Each structure stands twice: as structure tokens, then as C-alpha cells.
Amino acid sequence: MNVKYSQKKYNLKIKEYLKHNELYYDKNSPIISDEQFDKLKAEILRFESNNLNLKSKDSPSNTIGFKPSKNFQKSRHRERMLSLSNVFNAEDLRNFEKKIVNYLDLKNKNNLEYSVEPKIDGISASLTYKKGVLIAGVSRGDGQDGELITENLKTIKDIPKKIENKNFPDDIDIRGEVFIKNSDFEKLKNKFANARNAASGSLRQKDPAQTQKIPLNFIGYTYGFFESNKLKKQSDFIKNLKNWGFKTNQFNKVITGIDNLLKYHKEFEAKRDKIDYDIDGLVYKVNDFNLQKRLGFVTNAPRWATAHKFSAEKSFTQILNIEVQLGRTGALTPVAKVKPVSIAGVVVSNATLHNEDEILRKDIRIGDVVEIERAGDVIPHVISVDLSKRSKDAKKYIFPKKCPSCGSSIIKEFNYSTKKYDAVKRCSSQDYECDKISIEKIKHFISKDALNIDGFGKKVVEKFWDLKFIRTPNDIFSLDYNKIEKLDGWGRLSSNKLKYSIDNSRNVTLDKLIFSLGIRHIGQENAKLIAEHIENISNLEKIDKNFNFNSFLNIDGIGDTQVNSLKSFFLNKNNIQIIRKLSKILKIKQNIKPKNGKFKNKTFLITGKLEGLSRAELKNIIEKNSGKILSSVTNKLDYLIVGLKPTPKKVNKANDLNIKLISQKQFNDMLE
Ligand code: IVH
């Protein structure tokens, strides 16, 4: 073969290889099968071994395994991008304020001022300006790391590239929502399912010229990093945003009092159809920055803000069948399979019936015409039956007497705080003794908030379970990729990609691991508290039936419900085995608590009522400064903070043990 010809042919093959590589990894839309792709690679390698002078830097022999998407660079947010809690009705909203009032120990409960802002249903972005120049634009990502999409964001006309205003901070992240107007979306309807997808798709185009083709808008509403913020209120910040040249929402308002918030919500809901972009609720933010700072965050949402969603969309449809679904905690949830119906642009074919009592109370039967509601991201549910449409054939549903997966008996648990039996029925078997529960537990283990194993979806868990590849979470780390590669619909590429994600997920923090174990009543926030309490993995491994579980009650936020659940989890040998195996496989990082604060190695206990702040807030202040809270007066205690009407027993004991008693004022002086 002539050399020139070989070179040309080789170059063409490499070009083809690069194209498919990109389609597969960066665009997630391969147009050839894995087999064909493997064949192409093999051809190139053979070519190279026959023509030793030929080897491109892009040769597959230079790229080992899977390379992560190179479309966008990852970029860490200087301040995390948080999400918002939701409220759906007046009661939720009153509770939201009650928690704030309690936490801050506010005397006058009726004068909390809120910045009220429409919640645009778009894509949030963070823009970094240094000396007035837009130097970086980042997508939200997982809140910690986003994608660097500066060039795409720069194509949006509402985003200033350079700000000359003298008052504009030297170093600031401006955050807001990127969205598309409904009238513009009309023209793109056949390309995207909804306006939000269109905005997201457009923003993540590889080529900014493609982004520019779709008319995106930007409205600013908050900040991330903000060098020397001297402003006092959110509403002042919004005013400044406008002066600096950003678009802000014309419907933003400052409102005091829950009744007034509810009034504005009602008015707004009535007119939201007339606004040319999707709004899914109102955001209420405590207006005073000082109070925001005191309130702080819970997991990944601020205590000082919430989103009040607009009421859900409803529709009528028919129940075709009722099935019972088994969840990872053993709960048996009846689900109505309904004739598919579109509710606010989403096709619904399942609706939850919650539990047996609900079915009986609403007298829901198979064949009934029912009204279904879909609120936000929550699973649609059946509201009521249209009895006028009930046919003679409508069939009563008989709830199973045994677990449909493992045949164990079904139980109702007694709830010690409500002093009643739960409405939910559960499979009585222990963790990992029931197949379906095991599958659901593994799904939880790999899910986004847990180990977050990319490309390992629920369907893959089911398939690997059926093939007996996995039985418990630790099996994920000893998968046989030679077998996986040969499965239908797989291939070397997809199997490499999975291996890459699984290997990546080995680095976890202790709280993530605890959360991913799927212990009932132990959500992300509780997992964090427990991780900080037990400090490291070897302490977790030591927990068995002899452990003093009541020591968990010392943690503020952990109560009897959680302790009972932890107890039953650790009484099960399977669970202990799994933790021991995982501890060998994973690289578990300790949750780092700031250790160098003012109160390092100092312990505190509070007795009596405090003034101007709650115990929860004082406790957070102590912990933020590396101090520790104890639950009783022992000789390990350094300070007893004595408020109004203290418990005499505690004060006496502290005196006996020569422990320092301090007033709230003295504590404040120590903090200064
Ligand atoms: S403030 C710390 N303000 O809602 C508070 N967010 O669920 C978080 N959003 O990712 C951001 N309008 O995309 C804030 N006026 C507004 C908003 C808003 C829409 C979105 C944003 C965020 C999500 C939080």
C-alpha cells in the first residue's frame, strides 16, 4: 500500500473515531452501536501496528477508558448555590414563620418583613464580576460545582458584560434566573418539551453561536460571594441590582405579615397566566440581612426563605388498576394506574393512593373516574371519586395480606409520638431479607443525594439484580465488567463508563455514607449530625447491639424516633456486615468541623430561658466556634450558661463540681 494512501485512510479513520467519541461522551447521543465503535477502534489499532510510522495523538491507544465530558469545565462556586424549601398552603406558611420567630426568639411576632419575588421557572446562573468585568458565568450544577458556561451566558443581552457604575462592588457573584419567554418558546415548541428545557438546552450548547439563536433572558435576584456587603436588606440589594444595570422582576415587593403575603399570593396567582414567562410560586425572603445571617441554613436550604408554590393543576381520569409498591423502608404504597392524562404539560399515568385507610375513606374503586392533582415535583395523587360516573363493574380493592415480594406478614407500626398506629402498612422482614426492599435500598444507595453514581440508574439496578450481580450495596464495587460488557445493549464503552463512575464514587464523606445506608428517619440532615457526633468510620463500625444508643439523644435534632430506628438498624447483622465491607472498599472522609474556633475544646450547657435568641441559635453559635454542647452537668463541663429561671439542680451540681457559671451577657462578652 502506498504510504500517502495509508496516511489518508488512517486520518479519515481517526476523524471518524473522534466524531463518534464526541457523540457518545459529550453529546450523549451515539449514532453507532458500541460494537461498531469497538470495531472502529480495533481497526485503527491494527492499522497502527502494520504502519509503525502512523500514530496520531488522538489515537484510541492514547486514550485509556472513559474521559469525562469536556464540553464544559467544572467550576466551584465561591458560595454554595442553595435551593429553597416549599410551602403549599397557609398552614405551611404560618409554620415557616413560627420556626423563624422561635429560632430568633422574637417578641413582636407580627412585624417580620419579607422581600417577595416571583419564582421564575428557569435555570439559575451565577455571574462573577471583578472590577466591573464579567469574568465567569457558571451553572448551578449540584450547588457546589457548576459548569463554566461563560461564553454562552455572554450571548444573553440582559447580562451586562462590563459595569461602569461607581457603586458596583469590586468582587461579586450576581445570581439570577435564565429563562425563555412563552411567546418565544412557541417558535421552538417542536424541539423542546417545555420552556424550561428549551432554556436549559440552549444554555448548554457547545457552540455559543447556537445559544445566541434562542432568545434567552436574565433576571437577577441574589448574590453569592459579595466582598464587603454593607447593605442592610434584600430589597436594597434588588434596588442596587437595577442601578447597576441588571433586569429585576417588576413584581418584586416588600410585605409584612402572613395575611398580607397570602393576599398577594392570591392576587398574583390570578394574574400569572397573563405574564409571558412561567412562574411556579412566590419566594419569600426575610428582608433583613442581619436576621438572614442569624438564621443560617438547614442542609441545603436557608431558614430565612421559602417558595410558596401556586396551587396544583388538576384533571379527571379513570383508574385502570391498583397496584401496591414496596419502598426501601418496607412501606406498601397503593398506586392507581390511570388512563394517561396530561396535567400542565406532563403525562400522568400513576397516582398515589397513600395507604389503605385513604382508599377506604375516599371509597376508591378500580374503574372509578377520579380527580387527580399534580403539585410541583410531588407525585400526583387522587383527590376524590366522581361517584356520578361509577359503573356497576367498579371493583373494590383488597389490600394484600402478605408482602407481595417475600411473603412475610404485613404490620402497622405504633407511633410513640402520636400514640396511634401508623396508617402505612409495612413488610415485616428485616433489611435485605426481602428482595424488593433490597432492590429499593440499592437504588437509594446509588441515588443523586447518596453516592451519586452516574450512569447507574434504577433500571440498571433491576437488571443487575435479576442477573444476580448484586445483592447488597458493597457488590457494586466488585462487578465483573467482562460480563457486563457482553450484556445486550452494553459494550466495552458503556461498561468502561460505568466502571469510571463507580470508581469515582468511592470517595465519600461519612455523612454521605450514613445517608446512603437508607436508615429510616435518617435523612441528609440527621446523617450529618450523626457523622459529626461519631466522628469517624471506625466508630461507626463499632456500633452493635451493645452500643449506648441513648447517647444519640445528646444530639440536638435527634429524638426517640431516630434512636429507635438506629437501634433496629444496628440490631440487624446484615447491616453491620455491609458497613464493615463498605469501610474497606470506600475512601471515607471525616466530616470536618471547624476546629480552630474561639471555643475549641470548650464544653457548654444551657439552663433556663435565654433572651433575644433561642437555644437552637445559641447552640449553633457555640458549634460554629468549635465548642461542644453537653447534655448534663458532669466534670467534663466547662461552662454552664445560666438564663432566666434555671433548673436549680443543674446550678447546684455545677457549683458542687466547681464549674464556671456564666450569664448570657458574659457569654456574649466571651464571644466578642
Ligand atoms: S434565591 C438561597 N430567589 O429557585 C435562596 N431563587 O429552589 C436560593 N429561583 O435554584 C435562591 N426565583 O433557580 C431565589 N427570586 C428568587 C428565585 C429563585 C427563582 C430559583 C433558583 C433556585 C431555586 C431554588
Give the Å distance between the CA of 84 and the centre of ligand 1: 7
**Mean per-residue pLDDT of the chain:** 89
Q: Is 218 in the same domain as 302? A: yes
Give the pLDDT confidence score for residue 97 in this predicted structure: 96
Give the neighbor-by-neighbor strand order of the sheet with 171-180: 133-139, 123-130, 171-180, 216-226
Q: Which of 3-17, 326-340, 618-632 has the lowest average pLDDT? A: 3-17
Percentage with pLDDT > 70 across the chain? 94
569 pLDDT higher than 90: yes
Query: Which one from 13, 41, 119, 425 is the annotated catalytic residue?
Result: 119
Name the residue among 136, 342, 149, 118 with its Cα closest to residue 251: 118
Domain C-terminal end among 531, 563, 589: 589
pLDDT digits (tens, 9 = 90+) for 602-652: 999 999 999 988 888 898 899 889 898 888 899 999 999 999 999 999 999
Give the Å distance between the CA of 311 and the centre of ligand 1: 18
Q: Is 512 in the same domain as 496? A: no
Q: Is 261 in the same domain as 175? A: yes
Please state, in angstroms and as integers, the Cα–Cα distance from residue 475 to each residue in 290, 465, 479, following that order: 49, 10, 7
40 pLDDT higher than 90: no
Distance CA 326, CA 310 (A): 31
Domain C-terminal end among 487, 505, 523: 505
Give the pLDDT confidence score for residue 556 in this predicted structure: 73
- 6: burial class by Cβ within 10 Å (0-12, 13-18, 19+)? middle
Q: How many CB atoms lie within 10 A of CB 166?
A: 6
Which position has the higher pLDDT, 298 or 319?
Answer: 319
Per the structure, the complete domain to which residue 560 belongs is given by 508-589
Q: Is 134 in the same domain as 197? A: yes
pLDDT digits (tens, 9 = 90+) for 219-236: 999 999 998 899 999 999
Name the residue among 432, 442, 433 with its Cα closest to residue 463: 442
Q: What count of residues does the chain have?
A: 672
Give the pLDDT confidence score for residue 594 in this predicted structure: 61
Q: Which residues contact 324 (CB under 8 A, 6 or more apart)?
A: 332, 333, 334, 335, 399, 400, 404
Residue 302 CA: nearest ligand 1 atom is: 2
Q: Is 148 in the same domain as 257? A: yes
Q: Is 624 in the same domain as 585? A: no
Q: Is residue 336 part of a domain?
A: no
Percentage with pLDDT > 90 across the chain? 64
Strand partners, 256: 113
397 pLDDT higher than 90: yes
Among protein residues, the one with the nearest Cα to ligand 1's atom 21 is: 124
CATH number assigned to the domain comprising residue 618:
3.40.50.10190
Strand partners, 338: 319
Strand partners, 315: 372
SS3 424: strand
Give the pLDDT confidence score for residue 435 in this predicted structure: 96
Which position has the higher pLDDT, 259 or 207?
Answer: 259
Give the Å distance between the CA of 450 and the centre of ligand 1: 23
Give the Å distance between the CA of 292 and the centre of ligand 1: 15
Q: Which residues contact 380 (CB under 8 A, 6 or more apart)?
A: 343, 348, 350, 351, 352, 372, 373, 374
Distance CA 273, CA 254 (A): 22
Distance CA 100, CA 286 (A): 9
Q: What is the band of 26 on the pLDDT scale with cuts at 50, 70, 90?
A: low
Q: What is the band of 64 on the pLDDT scale with cuts at 50, 70, 90?
A: very low
Name the residue among 584, 591, 581 with its Cα closest to residue 534: 591
Pocket test for ligand 1, best of 81, 84, 123 (most atoms within 8 A of CB): 84
User: CB of 562 within 8 A of CB of 522?
Assistant: yes
67 pLDDT higher than 70: no
Residue 252 CA: nearest ligand 1 atom is: 15
Q: Is 666 in the same domain as 554? A: no
> What angle, 0 to 180 degrees and rounded to 10, lies between the N-to-C axes of helices 573-585 and 560-570?
80
Q: Is residue 659 part of a domain?
A: yes
Q: What is the band of 65 on the pLDDT scale with cuts at 50, 70, 90?
A: very low
Which position has the higher pLDDT, 289 or 557?
Answer: 289
Q: For 565-578, what is the mean pLDDT?
A: 93
Q: Which residues line ligand 1 (CB under 6 A)?
A: 82-84, 117, 119-120, 124, 140, 177, 221-222, 283, 302, 305, 307
Strand ranges in 2-88 using DSSP code E only, listed in sequence order = 74-76, 85-87
22 pLDDT higher than 50: yes
Q: Which of 352-356, 363-367, 594-598 has the lowest average pLDDT? A: 594-598
Q: What is the band of 118 on the pLDDT scale with cuts at 50, 70, 90?
A: very high
Give the pLDDT confidence score for residue 62 in this predicted structure: 58
Q: Is 94 in the same domain as 191? A: yes
Give the pLDDT confidence score for residue 207 in this predicted structure: 79
Which position has the higher pLDDT, 54 or 309?
Answer: 309
567 pLDDT higher than 90: yes
Give the pLDDT confidence score for residue 68 in this predicted structure: 31
> Amino acid letter at 92?
D
Q: Which of 65-69, 165-169, 326-330 has the lowest average pLDDT? A: 65-69
Q: Is 79 in the same domain as 140? A: yes
Q: Is residue 50 part of a domain?
A: no
Q: For 93-102, what is the mean pLDDT?
A: 94
Distance CA 354, CA 173 (A): 43
Give the Å distance between the CA of 152 and the centre of ligand 1: 21
Question: Is 624 considered catalytic here?
Answer: no
Please state, in angstroms and as integers, the Cα–Cα distance from residue 83 to each residue in 28, 305, 398, 652, following that order: 27, 10, 41, 46
Q: For 522-532, what is the mean pLDDT?
A: 90
Q: Which of 105-114, 321-330, 633-642 has the lowest average pLDDT? A: 105-114
Name the residue among 38, 75, 187, 149 with its Cα closest to residue 496: 38
Q: Is residue 405 part of a domain?
A: no
Q: For 23-35, what is the mean pLDDT?
A: 62
Domain count of the fold of the chain: 4
Give the pLDDT confidence score for residue 34 in this predicted structure: 62
Q: Is residue 391 part of a domain?
A: no
CATH number assigned to the domain comprising residue 482:
1.10.150.20
Strand partners, 253: 116
Q: Is residue 207 part of a domain?
A: yes
69 pLDDT higher than 70: no
Give the Å distance between the CA of 526 and the centre of ligand 1: 24
User: CB of 564 within 8 A of CB of 541?
Assistant: no
Q: Is residue 298 part of a domain?
A: yes
Distance CA 167, CA 132 (A): 10
Give the Å distance between the CA of 279 and the centre of ligand 1: 11
Domain C-terminal end among 268, 283, 306: 306
Q: Is 131 in the same domain as 203? A: yes
Q: Is residue 137 part of a domain?
A: yes
pLDDT digits (tens, 9 = 90+) for 170-206: 999 999 999 999 888 887 776 666 788 788 888 887 7
Q: What is the band of 35 on the pLDDT scale with cuts at 50, 70, 90?
A: low
Give the pLDDT confidence score for residue 642 in this predicted structure: 96
Q: Is 291 in the same domain as 170? A: yes
Q: Is 501 in the same domain as 518? A: no
Q: What is the band of 66 on the pLDDT scale with cuts at 50, 70, 90?
A: very low
Q: For 243-264, what is the mean pLDDT?
A: 97
